[in-house]
Amino acid sequence: MSIDNIREGRSIIMKIKDIKIKQISVPLNTPFKTALRTVKSVEDIIVEIYTDTGNVGFGEAPPTGAITGDTTGAIKGAIEDHIKKSITGMDIENFESIIKKLNGCIVKNTSAKAAVDIALHDLYGQLYKAPLYKLLGGFRKEITTDITISVNEPEEMVKDSIKAIKKGYKTLKIKVGVDSKKDLERIKAIRQAVGYDVDLRIDANQGWKPKEAVRVLKKMEDENLKIELVEQPVTACDIEGLKLVTDNVSIPVLADESVFSPGDALKILQSRAADLINIKLMKTGGLHNALKICSLAEIYGIECMVGCMLEAKVSVTAAVHLACAKSVITKVDLDGPVLCREDPIEGGAVFNESKISLPDSPGLGIKSIHY
């Protein structure tokens, strides 16, 4: 149906006909190591939503059991047994109704919901023939990401850091949280090697206890290591511990695993337990709830980061659209695709090391996936 039909007030019908689940396996350039896990390849679920108009919406979810609790089997089961039955036959134009069904048909299972939510947003953009970021706010079309340095021996982390800087990265996200004494050595070695023109973020992945976090972070302050922020220093459920760290160090604290839902974000914001919120689509259940967190953060005057799990380009492209749409998102950690050895996805966001840009194609701009 043409744009003229829209202007004349006639509805565009794009009904969900089928949902198919597929998988991709993409090897990483080097193993990805954090305080919680070591990963050698991206093993993700791909969702394809087919419509009666011939349009296809793409979504993606990584099984990240250590963080979300969602395994490959759980993601597939949630989609096949609950989500698919709930939304098949619905019109994309009735978007709010579809999202309510998606979020109401099964509790938790945020990764499965995110994959479907992303595919639905892709179709929504296609329906109105507009890039998704423009429909969501259209603040910009290019962003700059950091790159993650896996936790290893200090010498190896220094090598990885120098390699990243040579590729043009200006911000490094350093994984810590395995041993607080050695973590200090790691950061000192990296700062000494890269100088002070490079921003350093540190991510403890829940690896420290609250007083331990305060102690090591104060030492980093005393050593003048110029840390831009510390991400999730304590266990996700320990909001009081998170607030203890926030109240006792000058380094800004970024809440990550502590924030899944808009309700989680509201608790953090109301108690001032963190200085920043990290939004990840696999935690929020997709873009719909991520946008709610953006609005809450704006109300409380708190800036956000958009991050990702170890994901390929479909879901990260959705996160790029979100980051480009909203001005409250001031920090970006979307390096998943550049850590991969190959890219099986045609279209979507364009990754040129730290620079990420979006095409003006409708929806996510994904053309096809090579399985």
Name the residue type at position 199.
Answer: D
Q: How confident is the model at residue 11 (pLDDT cuts 50, 70, 90)?
A: low
Buried b / exposed e over 239-270, threshold 16 CB at 10 Å, is bebbbbbbeebebbbbbbbbbbbbebbbebbe
Architecture of domain 3-129: 2-Layer Sandwich (3.30)
Least confident of 4-8, 196-200, 303-307: 4-8
Domain boundaries, the chain: 3-129, 134-369
- Does 1.20.810.10 match the CATH number of domain 134-369? no
Q: Are 63 and 45 in contact (CB under 8 A)?
A: yes
CB atoms within 10 A of CB 340: 21
pLDDT for 241 beyond 70: yes
Q: Are 62 and 44 in contact (CB under 8 A)?
A: yes
Catalytic residue among 84, 113, 175, 283: 175
Taking CA atoms, 348 is separated from 11, 254, 319, 369, in Å, by 27, 28, 11, 11
At residue 287, the pLDDT reads 99
Across 7-12, average pLDDT: 54
User: Is 355 annotated in the active site?
Assistant: no
Q: Comparing 33 with 206, which gets the higher pLDDT? A: 206
What span, in angstroms and rounded, lies between the C-alpha atoms of 20 and 166?
Answer: 41
Residues 6+ apart with CB under 8 A from 360: 131
User: Is 175 annotated in the active site?
Assistant: yes
Mean pLDDT score of the chain: 95
Catalytic residue among 280, 283, 326, 331: 280
CB atoms within 10 A of CB 55: 17
